[in-house]
Amino acid sequence: MPNAMPYWMLSGIVLIILLGVWRHTRQKALFPQLLIFSGQIYFFEYVIMVLFNSYEYRPHFVSAPAYQDSVMGAVVSNLLSVPIMGAVVVIYRLRLRWILLIALGFAIIERIFVYLDVYEQHWWNEGYTFVSLLVFFELAKRWVDNMKKGSRLVVYVSLLTFSFSLAATMMFLLSLAGVRLFHAGVFADPYRDDVLVATADAFAKALLMTILLIVTEKPSWRYGSIVLLTGLQLLLLSTGTLRVYISLPLYVAIYIGCCATVIAIASVFYKSLKRDACGWNDETRLKAVVNSR
């Protein structure tokens, strides 16, 4: 069986669940919430997978390089399966027994992936997965509860993780397309080195964008930050930390387009978030969903 098959099967299952939840609830917050959760998971996996080499995905989505293939496998977990099930837990207000079953299901899937040799554990194991998912799902419920209450800290961090998810995904796509590569000299594997710097770079962008979205509604300030961000890219290029494999004007144009896209999407999201906690205050619909379980 091709290595990619288990990943495609898992993706298909969770996407069917996502479609079912959307058709059942019509929660307008569903898709933004996935990006909030994925941003949180990106940060967690950056620490355990990139910095501390906890495990390796082997989906063989691409023949080489191996680390980029591993990151693509991580996308199935970080952008799809775990955020989607997190949204299910939150929307249906699932109790502990269901959360235990979902976390156990992920741990079993992890063991199956190891058995199929499509995923390799280094120091990580299924027990860590089980416990970390229990914590994540409970945190997700509390997170949305506080967002509904209008907690400024939760709203601002939600905006940050939402923007970080978008920015990090776009940065990885640029690397995957062979457009650019970061080089810090920290790791021997140049592609792990790239993910190390690119993710930190994406977080810095998201943080700056979040601050500007919060402090000003003027598009000139928000989109004007792209000038600063582009200047920083040119600085990294001049020091050799960034290597570009297409013409510089084309790279700058693509980069500006990516930054503008993140700002535009995050601006719409933040406006919605301020107005109605991103839809989670739709108590009538939420109660109807809960009562229909």
- Could you report the per-residue pLDDT of 181-198, keeping only the tens digit for each? 999 999 999 999 999 999
Could you give the percent of the chain with pLDDT greater than 90? 82
Q: Which of 117-121, 146-150, 222-226, 251-255 comes out lowest in average pLDDT?
A: 146-150
Domain that holds residue 66: 4-291
How far apart (Å, rounded) are the C-alpha atoms in residues 90 and 68?
32
Predicted local confidence at residue 286, as pLDDT: 44
Q: Which residues contact 20 (CB under 8 A, 6 or more apart)?
A: none
Predicted local confidence at residue 151, as pLDDT: 86
pLDDT digits 0-9 by tens, 263-279: 999 999 998 887 765 45
pLDDT tops 60 at residue 291: no
Of residues 110, 4, 5, 120, the one with CA closest to residue 53: 120
Predicted local confidence at residue 288, as pLDDT: 45
Could you give the percent of the chain with pLDDT greater than 70? 94
How far apart (Å, rounded) are the C-alpha atoms in residues 23 and 49?
35
CA angle centred on 28, ends 293 and 100, rounded to 5°: 40
pTM of the model: 0.90
Total domains in the chain come to: 1
Predicted local confidence at residue 292, as pLDDT: 47
Predicted local confidence at residue 64, as pLDDT: 75
Predicted local confidence at residue 152, as pLDDT: 87
Please state the rounded mean pLDDT for residues 9-34.
91
